[in-house]
Amino acid sequence: MLRVPADLSVDCLLSAYSAGYFPMPVRRRIAWFSPNPRGVFIPDHLRVTRSLRRSIRRYDIRIDTAFADVISACGDPARPMGWINRAVIDAFTALHHAGHAHSIEAWDDEGLAGGLYGVSIGGFFAGESMFHRRPDASKVALVALGDIMKSVPGSVIDTQWTTDHLVTLGAFDVTRNDYAQLLELALAQPKPAALQHVPAPTPPHKDPHG
């Protein structure tokens, strides 16, 4: 961890992620982190169970149609260990409008069922947070992200840390040195075609939590 206040401007965020850092809170301040070991997915190696394959058929996957809703749901202050505050939402929304942050969304007949958002640079995708309102919706969004990323050889999905839940889906730990090599290779690859668009400007998002 680099214990300095994090500048959340678009340029600084892109530089930080490209160097292996990401922002997280420390005593109510945002600092740069680079944990060792580091959690990653290799897109080709995501584990999809039979039950998850059945769930995939229940949802429609969309990209960047509701970024504000996804990041707001991920930042719900009622969630345990919540850290996504207004400053973070504003910073990643600016990154989204610049074409570098994206939401992968799972929809059903009732609306937005779950999803995730993260930072995309070349063949690298840093998953920031996910949420679900219906069963398996966030997992389905992750599988969809894996399908998008595996179109680019050498791509990697950064999970920052591993959890028991992520490990069941195929995440694993690598050393900082190995992560640096994976990152360098991924950054040298082209961005997946599905993530190459720059989203159109949207009206300012109103935070339902005030």
pLDDT tens for 45-94 read 999 999 999 999 999 999 999 999 999 999 988 776 667 888 899 999 99
Query: Is 2 a member of any domain?
Result: no
Residue 1 pLDDT exceeds 90: no
Which CATH number fits the domain that encloses residue 174?
3.40.630.70
Residue 201 lies in a domain: no
Would you say residue 3 lies in a domain? Answer: no
95: containing domain: 37-195
Burial of residue 94 (CB within 10 Å: 0-12, 13-18, 19+) is middle
106 CB-near residues (< 8 Å, 6+ apart): 59, 60, 61, 112, 113, 114, 115, 132, 137, 138, 140, 141, 144
pLDDT digits (tens, 9 = 90+) for 52-64: 999 999 999 999 9
Tell me if 86 is assigned to some domain: yes
Residue 162 buriedness (CB in 10 A; 0-12 / 13-18 / 19+): middle
Taking the whole predicted model, whether its pTM rises above 0.85 is answered as yes
Tell whether the model's pLDDT for residue 33 goes beyond 90.
Answer: yes
- State yes or no: pLDDT of 40 exceeds 80: yes
Q: Examine residue 29 and state whether it is found in any structural domain, yes or no.
A: no
Closest CA to 95 of 18, 182, 180: 18
Q: How far apart, in whole angstroms, are the C-alpha atoms of residue 95 and residue 171?
A: 26
Whether 184 is in a domain gets the answer: yes
Q: What is the mean pLDDT of residues 177-191?
A: 98
The answer to the question of residue 53 being in a domain is yes
The distance in angstroms from the start CA to the end CA of the chain is 31
Tell whether the model's pLDDT for residue 204 goes beyond 90: no
Assigned domain for 31 exists = no
Domain count, the chain: 1
* Per-residue pLDDT at 25: 82
**pLDDT tens digits, one per residue of 155-171:** 999 999 999 999 999 99
Torsion of CA 102, 108, 112, 118, to 10 degrees: -20
